[in-house]
Amino acid sequence: MEQIKRHQSYWDNSTEIYDEIIQEELSGFKKDAWIHILQEHLQNKRPLQILEMGTGPGFFAILLAKMGHEVTALDFSENMIKAAKKNASDNRVFVHFVHTSTESPFSSTDTYDVIISRNVTWTLHFPEKTYTEWYKWLKEEGRLLIFDANWNIGLANRVHGEIYQSDIERAKKLGFLTYDNQELFDEGDDISKNLPMTFAMRPDWDKAVLSQLGFRDIKIRQDFQEQIYTEAEQLAYASIPFFSITAIK
């Protein structure tokens, strides 16, 4: 419980950085790129009831609402939810944002056509339990859609860490943006050393667990980095391939 509260505080303190990132995404090429990718993965033009897990400052929630879907978006960081509400208002879309916490966990009698997350599952403290809940909250034939990467592989494997740091230094020469907040990032690394996904072989781990839970038609893609990354980002994240997982209940 204390570890989760510590993690919640970390994301509260990280809100300004992540909000700055999605402001750039919303105003640049990534907005249209992600809309195209989401359309490909959702494979359905009708308005869907979508639950987004870990919305952060609301990038996916805003895009999905602009696409005409009915979106409920959760986050356990109160500051992230505040930023997301402002961003949705600025972009003139409605999203039902919900702040969850250890004291007030999300519980729903509704089920959803789609459950979606971006850069969230690597942070899970109890991933198998979480995936079980997501299965329960999906309608029959509902779709789970996960976008993520092995962001902490450098903490689990020294060689990977050295490769990643070398790539970052080369990417800086192409304009890759870094943030001068070492204390915050050290805190994030320390938390991540106790997260199970840091040491999982993903996305193979996810595929095996989702299959055991009853998901079917599980598909993995790793072919869209060039669409969503700048040239500098492609170099910086060369050793951490971004992936998507789709699965049907």
Whole-number Cα distances in Å, 201 to 54, 160, 225, 234: 22, 13, 20, 21
Whether residue 3 contacts residue 194, with contact meaning beta carbons closer than 8 Å, is answered with yes
Tens digits of residue pLDDT in 62-84: 999 999 999 999 999 999 999 99
Whether residue 127 contacts residue 203, with contact meaning beta carbons closer than 8 Å, is answered with no
What's the pLDDT score for residue 234?
96
Tokens of 243: 């992936």
Whether residue 150 contacts residue 202, with contact meaning beta carbons closer than 8 Å, is answered with yes
What's the pLDDT score for residue 9?
92
Contacts of 225 (CB under 8 A, 6+ apart): 234, 237, 241, 242
Q: Is the pLDDT of residue 101 over 90?
A: no
Give the whole-angstrom CA distance, residue 71 versus residue 68: 9
Tens digits of residue pLDDT in 218-244: 999 999 999 999 999 999 999 999 999
Span 125-150, average pLDDT: 97
Predicted confidence band at 108 (pLDDT cuts at 50, 70, 90)? confident
Tokens of 70: 């009915």
User: Could you give the count of Cα atoms lying within 13 Å of 125 in the half-sphere of its Cβ?
Assistant: 11
The percent helix, strand, coil of the chain (3-state, each to 5) is 50, 20, 30
Give the whole-angstrom CA distance, residue 149 versus residue 136: 24
Q: pTM score, two decimals?
A: 0.95
Q: Is the pLDDT of residue 177 over 80?
A: yes
Predicted confidence band at 179 (pLDDT cuts at 50, 70, 90)? confident
Give how far the C-alpha of residue 169 lies from the chain's centroid of Cα atoms, to the nearest Å: 25
Q: Is the pLDDT of residue 2 over 90?
A: no
- Count, in order, helices (H) and strands (E) of the chain: 11, 7
- Whole-number average pLDDT of the chain: 95
DSSP assignment letter at 133: H
What's the pLDDT score for residue 224?
94
Span 122-139, average pLDDT: 96
